Amino acid sequence: MPLSVFFAAWLIAVGIGWWIHTMQGSGDSSGEPMFTGAAQAPLWALVFVAAYSASHTFPFSMALSYSRRTFMLGVILAFGLVSVAFGAAFILAAWIERVTDGFGMHFYTFNLPYLTQGSGGIVAAGALAATLCLVLMMVGFFWAILYLRAGLFTLWVIILGLAVVGLAGTMLIFQNDGWPVIWEWIMQQSALSLTGWLAILAVGLAGLNYGVIRRATPA
């Protein structure tokens, strides 16, 4: 499914780009480049897959008498392999867009300048995509395993609590004019540095998931 979403989102984005290019009614290929966010579409499909793996394969692994530690190691390995595959696909797609000049229309889904023109180029962008994929899959897995651990009521209490904290934090940032500082920090990062930050987050999420799954009960 995620692979189908990857190509479907890319195809739809290119189709929209071709339509816009045609509507402009110009054969000039030197126009302003256009960028799309369709590259994130398969990530959300992978979040669903990660949550599904927690809710369905965890009870099965317990029925086979695997330890929670073994299951968690398998999850990390599987998520890691999927993330590497996504990163490789991102690199290949960005390279295709670069060599074809955005399919002759300057229309880009993966070859995004902010990610691919810094140190490391397309490879660094692929590493960032892979690490982001791993983080999001860990997040999807966390919510599903938390449901098995704490139940539906507690899950919603935690979600609402985090929403309130997030809203309060956003209001404080607005009140103290903090968004320009945050945006400036983001713009100063490269694909490699963002990969490093996300890698740290992924390690933390792996530890958190293991802590939750130790007391989770199969449904």
In the prediction, which pLDDT does 50 show? 92
pLDDT per residue as tens digits for the range 172-209:
888 888 788 888 888 888 888 999 999 999 999 999 99
In the prediction, which pLDDT does 30 show? 55
- Long-range CB contact pairs, 92-99, < 8 A, 24+: 93/10, 93/39, 94/122, 94/125, 94/126, 95/122, 98/122
pLDDT classification of 219: cutoffs 50, 70, 90: low
Report which secondary-structure segment, H or E, holds 34: strand 34-35
pTM of the model: 0.86
Query: 95 and 68 in contact (C-beta within 8 Å)?
Result: no
Average pLDDT, the chain: 86
Is the pLDDT at 147 greater than 70, yes or no?
Answer: yes
Is the pLDDT at 26 greater than 70, yes or no?
Answer: no
Record the tokens describing residue 136, joined without a space.
């999001």
Query: 34 and 108 in contact (C-beta within 8 Å)?
Result: yes
Diameter of the chain measured on Cα atoms: 65
Query: 84 and 130 in contact (C-beta within 8 Å)?
Result: yes
